[in-house]
Amino acid sequence: MESSFYLIQLLNGIQYGFLLFLLASGLTLIFGIMGIINLAHGAFYMIGAYLCYWLTGITGNLFTGILLAIPLSILFGYAVERLAISHLYKRDHLYQVLLTYALILIANELQSIFWGNDVHSVPIPELLKGAIQLTDNQAYPIYRLFISAACVVIAIAMYWVIQKTRLGMTIRAGASNREMVQALGININWLFAIVFSMGATLAALAGMLAAPVNTVYPGIGDNILIISFVVVVIGGIGSIKGAFIGALLIGLADTFGKVLLPEMASMVVYALMAAVLFWRPQGLFGKV
Amino acid sequence: MSDQKKPGISRRDILKGGAAAAGLATASSLIPTRFAIGGTAKVKVGILLPYTGTYAKLGTNIKDALQLRINENGGKLGGREVEYVNIDSEAAPPKASELTNKLIKKEQVDFLIGPVHSVVGMAMVKIARKADVITVIPNAGANGLTGSLCAPNIFRTSFSSYQPGFPAGQAMLEDGHKNVVVMYWNYGFGKETAAAFKSSFLAGGGNIVKEIPTPFPKVEFQAYLTEVAALKPDAVFTFYAGGGAVKFVKDYAAAGLNKTIPLYGAGFLTEGVTGAQGAAAEGVRTTLHYADSLDLPANHRFREAFMKATGNPADVYAVQGYDAGDLLIQGMAAVEGDVKAKAEMIKAMEGATIDSPRGKFTFSKAHNPIQDIYLREVVNGQNQVVRTVQKAVEDPAKGCKIG
Amino acid sequence: MHTVTRPIIIFLCICLVMLLLFPAVGSPFYTELVTRIMILSIFTISLDLLIGFTGLVSFGHAAFFGIGAYLLAILFNDVEHINYWWSLTLTLSMTGMAALVIGWLSIRTSGIYFIMLTLAFAQMCFYFFFESPHFGGDDGIFLMNKPEIMLGSRQLVDLENEHHYYYFVLAWLVGVYLFLSMILRAPFGHVLIAIKANEQRVRALGYSTPHYKLVSFVIAGTIAGLAGFLEAAHTSFVTPAYLGWHESGMAIMMVILGGMGTLFGPVIGTFIVVLLQDFLPGFTEHWKLIMGGIIIGVVLFLPNGVAGLIYSLTNRLSSKSKEAGREHV
Amino acid sequence: MSEIILKTEKLCKNFGGLKATDNISLDFERGKVHAILGPNGAGKTTLINLLSGELLPSSGRILFKGYDITDARPEKISRIGIGRSFQKTNILPGFSCLQNCWIGAQSCLMTSMRFFRPAKHLREVHRRADHALQLCGLSSKRNQIAATMSYGEQRQLEIAMMLATEPELLLLDEPLAGMGSEESQQVTELLKELAKEQTLILIEHDMDAVFSLADTITVMVDGAELETGNVDQIRNSKAVQDAYLGHDEEDAA
């Protein structure tokens, strides 16, 4: 194979990595700051994808669809946090695993009731429909580049919010010392509700952005859940930077695993995770 | 997505379900099926299909079409009323044995219909063979179900993985494609289809440039498409289905590959999903035992009736369910509703000719349809028949010891 | 640390008698269903040894269930006369080895990382069987013949006979229960429970806690393998789905619903969950909605599970004779 | 001068840029009570954690009876005869008093990997556990669940668990922390009793208790050793008064 082949694969890997980052960033936020294992992350992704399909269908435009779906996701995340998650902060991880597992069952049934079991697709807006010719016979869809760009923008925005704003400072403080934040007179319940709905919305946003390339069908959430966890754990729980690096690593490992080790393509990712944790049990950028 | 709505819905469903369950309980307690042979008692048809998860749509269509066919027969089998026992298989293999047992031992059904998922089918057939319950498989395509696992009481109205795969090799050679990349989901169905394709394609002098199995049920194809682009084959043969098929066809078109490298596949690539695939599916050619646009009276009749009964357009899965109903009708008619006369009924079913929407077909010795395979092309979102590739394709039924 | 009080012993004896009598009154379907529940109970009890007693939340325990089942199906795939004792020994020792390797790698981590690492290994095993061309892939693999339990030349138990198999599995369940309660009563078990309560302190008292955790992990894995062995011998059919994370999740659900940290809790939990799965789908198509609601209810309102409920009931009943009738687990 | 049981050589521990332990070289003599004093944040607990293996030092060495134990983990340290108690109560709350001590007594007897014999049949373990309870005056509470005992009793149990391992050297991290005067008195008596036979390394805030118990005192400030000497030397040291009392005033302010 010529070098352009590997260059394009590199592009594929990075692009997949960006998408994985978007999936994992919400999870690591909730993981790291609230100490909650949110198995329902995939359910939020699924809900985002379906909301996008539904609202795009109504409004006829992907962007208005997404703009309408975001506040709905925020509300939904907030409701879940208040009604269910907020009772679990002092409890063992085990109960969080279980409760969020139950949320998956419920979300999947609600999806089946509201939207049925068909496979749907979301049209790509005219503006982003084209493709860039890479080789004589392969083109790269502009929408994929748009997703990558959106992921980078979101990554930078998250970095900015967490490092530079007052909210971010409170969030960081809350992650390291819950009592201290409370002592400073900040309502920790309110803070956690914000973080959770932010995390849920990020997952839903990933679902929305990916909907036009991924199609929307029952069970999409389950497929991305485990891989998101792998990214978060490799990067180190709670580390946005770690999630970014982890996502790129996984994206590249998965892409090149498929090309170079097709027989074991699915195992490569898990083997990478096991190797990283063996070497650094707390992940690449995790705190001890 | 409201949490307010949730209790309302579940309550309503519970009430509905509860009433149905109560009705069912009284019915079965009043009429002890076991002792009543012939006229009075209802015939119990156990249906094990997925109604939740990825395969839910297939399960629903098969069930609706099966009941449609029996309702066309006055809702009766061999003159007896029919009672359906529906169980959601969840397409979950670990539960398959338990759920099959539930139908056979607890509900004591006379007939078993199902499943969609081949692995569930494996477990189910194994039990059904032992319990000697007449079983009609309306979808699951694993070759083994009418191969090494075949039995007198097991019938299939759908296809074996061999059937859409094998003629595809011939079809692609006829279309002039000699150097082909084979891509498929690396699981039983995909592997069997690809193997059948290869056997005819290689025998006809074709050349397989590369075989790319992709992990099932993952839908990240970008790396593979880059590989295809670099290999520059004449065409690509694929096996994907459901959500994976939509994603694959769209990704293939988005990468611009459809302009230079024609895409072929086993029929499921464009079955029931062309709406979601949109323009990307145009020109994709697939082989299958059915096409929506088949110009046969039976097909027109069926499609109209199905649309009227369910409000949904029919697809190949519905056809398979419809034919399963037809097979039951013929079997029961031959014994006039006496389910105890198994040998006689099986004989009648073996000899049945099904006037299917896909065209008339009969059964092989292994109880798999001997059917025509069509080459279809997606035109304006419709699978149009290009030509009949091979008439009366029969599964070789490797390992089958009956007949 | 839970103690087995006298009312609990009476309760367990009643349950045992009911299980002994059940095949006489139950229909063939329910006899078989209870057989399956008892097999799953062996699996969930073994998980409880990790979750409830050692404090290791394994999210990949189904891997060992699946490995046990697969080993039987692979190693003895077309053997005509499978010697039960030999196949059991071989299967369990190999499952134990797998647990040793996975455990050794996982136990270095703790908390969330342990949860995720066990999940990762289970997924690796899942994909190994799922994509491997040799073991049937996702179609699974059949076991052509059932093991034969011979004593000399006489057949001891006929595994083809549902009633025989029922009592055979029941005997295993009781055996595993007694084995684990013995372990937990022994010094080793005390250390495990202490590790769950406060690992740092136990280390400071001179225990090499990773060793204890590893031994516990291997025991639990081997017993899970036993359950897988029994299941494979029962259905003669093994698929990769046995190793999936949904199965691991369901097992955790059963342990918690029943009450972790008690050995009988998981058994109760398994009965409840499987019977609900049997019963609810007849009620509504969207039965998983109800299942999800039940799980949330348990998490929020019944954190100690049904066993916790039984304890608080019996404690209220026997609060006066509490000191007298106490025995340590 | 009697035998040196424990020795540290240029022990350092850094957390990031912070020097929590700065070049500590101390000798601890067998049979003596060696107290370590210092204001909050002086690095006393870090030092104990280094000695007990909870933390690994950044540099320097620790020698126990001449053997290098610098890199040993907590379980190893405990096995070779160094017991420790924790500043925050660190017991097994669901266990009874006796069971808590059992766990301690069992550890060095190499019987813990026994699977089948019920724990209560092991006579030697029983003897040790009982002895430890008796020393700490908890014999009457032996069957009480630890979580239900008073704070003072839990502190005593903390020490009893350590004693059940029958260590040669005891590391006590603020055994009097948070106690009322009466409880405090009791524990001080217990420590005096222990001091007759054992070697103690004691971290304590309570000056009176330290002065009444200790044979040798080391004062630490900002992770470093300020001064080491007997009670009178320390009491009269100018440097100590400046540093320690000065800090105290700051704290009060």
So where are chain D's domains?
A: 1-25+39-81+170-180+195-227, 93-166
ipTM summary value:
0.81
pLDDT tens digit sequence for A52-100: 999 999 998 889 999 999 999 999 999 999 988 888 887 888 888 889 9
Question: How far is Cα A42 from Cα A49, in angstroms, rounded to an integer?
Answer: 11
The domains of chain A are located at 2-279
**Residue D156 to residues B91, D126, D134, D184: CA-CA distances in angstroms?**
59, 18, 11, 10
Question: What local confidence, expressed as pLDDT, does residue B296 receive?
Answer: 93
* Token pair recorded at residue C133: 């061309």
C189: left (phi over 0), alpha (psi -120 to 50) or beta: alpha
Confidence of residue A288 (pLDDT cuts 50, 70, 90): low
Q: Which residue has the higher pLDDT, D245 or D224?
A: D224
Question: Of the candidates B14, B17, B105, which has its C-beta nearest C32's C-beta?
Answer: B105
Asked if the domains at B2-159+295-363 and B162-288+375-393 fall in one CATH topology, the answer is yes
8 Å CB contact of A217 and B52: no
Distance CA A105, CA C293 (A): 9
CA distance A191 to A96: 19
Which pLDDT belongs to residue D225?
Answer: 86
Q: Rounded to 5 degrees, what angle do the CA atoms C73, C75, C80 make?
A: 80
Q: Does domain B2-159+295-363 have CATH number 3.40.50.2300?
A: yes
Residues of chain B contacting A133 with CB distance shorter than 8 Å = 256
- What number of other Cβ atoms are within 10 A of residue D116's Cβ? 11
Scanning B172-191 for CB atoms below 8 A from C yields 186-188, 191
Q: How far is CA D46 from the centre of its chain?
A: 12
- A125-135 average pLDDT score: 84
Judged by CB atoms closer than 8 Å, whether chains meet at B119 and C28 is answered as no
Q: What is the pLDDT of residue D252?
A: 39
Beta bridge partners of residue B387, listed in sequence order: B375
Question: Which one of A2, A219, A256 has the shortest CB-CB distance to B54?
Answer: A219
Show residues of chain A in contact with C289, CB under 8 Å.
105-106, 109-110
pTM score above 0.80: yes
Q: Which two tokens stand for residue B123?
A: 């477990």
Q: Tens digit of pLDDT for each residue in D180-228?
A: 788 888 888 888 888 888 899 988 877 778 888 888 999 888 888 888 8
CA distance D117 to D106: 13
With 80 as the cut, is the pLDDT of residue A181 above it? no
pLDDT for position A176: 66
Q: Is C149:C156 a contact under the CB 8 Å cutoff?
A: yes
Rounded Cα distance between A144 and C78, Å, is: 50
Would you write out chain C's pLDDT as a tens digit for each of its 329 residues? Answer: 456 778 888 889 999 999 999 998 888 889 989 999 999 999 999 999 999 999 999 999 999 999 999 999 998 887 888 888 889 999 999 999 999 999 998 898 888 888 888 988 898 899 888 877 778 777 788 887 888 887 777 777 787 788 889 999 999 999 999 999 999 988 888 889 999 988 888 888 888 899 999 999 999 999 999 999 999 998 888 989 899 888 998 899 899 999 988 999 999 999 999 999 888 887 777 888 998 998 899 888 888 888 888 888 887 776 644 444 344 33
Question: B212: which chain A residues are within 8 Å (Cβ-Cβ)?
Answer: 262
The pLDDT value given to residue B219: 85
List of E strands, C136-266: 141-142, 147-151, 154-157, 237-238
Please give the CATH topology (third level) of the domain spanning B162-288+375-393. Rossmann fold (3.40.50)
CB neighbour list of residue D123: distance below 8 Å, 6 or more residues apart: none
Cross-chain CB nearest to B1 (options A47, A116, A214): A47
Chain mean position to CA B91: 13
Q: How confident is the model at residue B319, as a pLDDT? A: 95
Buried b (16+ CB within 10 A) or exposed e, D161-197: bbbbbbbebbbbbbbbbebeeebbebbbebbeebbee
Please give the interface size between C and D, counted as residue pairs whose CB atoms are below 8 Å apart.
102
Q: Are A238 and A286 in contact (CB under 8 A)?
A: yes
Tell me, what's the pLDDT at B34? 39
d(CA C78, CA B148): 14
The architecture in CATH of the region A2-279 reads Orthogonal Bundle (1.10)
Which residues fall within 8 angstroms of residue D231, CB to CB, at 6 or more apart?
D211, D214, D215, D217
Tokens of B344: 């006689």
Residue of chain A minimizing CA distance to C114: A281
CA dist list (Å): C157 to C23, C147, C168, C228: 16, 10, 8, 19
Question: How many inter-chain contacts (B to C, CB under 8 Å) are there?
Answer: 97
Judged by CB atoms closer than 8 Å, whether chains meet at C239 and B10 is answered as no
Q: How near does any CA of chain A get to the CA of B254, in Å?
A: 6
- Give the pLDDT confidence score for residue B332 in this predicted structure: 93
| Rounded distance between C-alpha atoms, residue D3 and residue C187, angstroms | 36
Candidates B158, B377, B355, B393; CA nearest to B283 is B377
Q: Report the C-alpha gap between A217 and A120 in whole angstroms.
A: 6
Task: Evaluate whether C40 touches C258 at the Cβ level (below 8 Å).
Answer: no
Contact yes or no for C127/B186 (Cβ under 8 A): no
D31 pLDDT higher than 70: yes
Of chain B, the end-to-end C-alpha distance in Å amounts to: 56
Domain definitions of chain B by residue range: 2-159+295-363, 162-288+375-393
Burial of B148 (0-12, 13-18, 19+ CB in 10 A): middle
Distance in angstroms (rounded) separating the CA atoms of residues C292 and A101: 8
Which positions in chain C touch D75 (Cβ < 8 Å)? 203-204, 206-209
> Looking at residue B260, what is its pLDDT?
92
Q: What secondary structure, in 3-state letters, does C145-175 show? A: CCEEEEECCEEEECCCCHHHHHHHHHHHHHH
D114–C204 CB contact, under 8 Å: no
| CATH numeric code, D1-25+39-81+170-180+195-227 | 3.40.50.300
Q: Pick the residue from chain B with its C-alpha nearest to A54.
A: B1
D115 touches C at CB < 8 Å:
yes
Describe the crossing of helices A240-260 and A3-29 by its angle, rounded to 10 degrees: 140
Quick check: C188 and D114 in contact, CB under 8 A? yes
Residue B247, min C-alpha distance to chain A (Å): 6
> Which residues have a Cβ under 8 Å from the Cβ of B276 and sit 6 or more positions away?
A118, A119, A120, A121, A215, B246
Instruction: Tell me what percent of the residues of chain D surpass a pLDDT of 70.
Output: 89
- Residue whose token pair is 């709406």: B275
Chain A residues closer than 8 Å to C128 by CB: 267
Using CA atoms in the order D19, D20, D22, D24, what is the torsion angle rounded to 10 degrees?
A: -170
User: Which residue among A139, A141, A218 places its CB closest to the CB of B54?
Assistant: A218
Q: CB burial class (10 A; 0-12, 13-18, 19+) of residue C32?
A: buried
Residue A36 pLDDT greater than 60, yes or no:
yes
Q: What distance in Å separates the CA atoms of residue A212 and residue B247, rounded to the nearest whole number?
A: 10
B182 touches B198 (CB < 8 A): yes
Residue D30 tokens read as 């067998």
For chain A, the first-to-last Cα distance in angstroms comes to 43
Q: What's the gap in Å between the CA of B278 and the closest CA on chain A?
A: 8
- Give chain B's residues under pLDDT 70: 1-40, 403
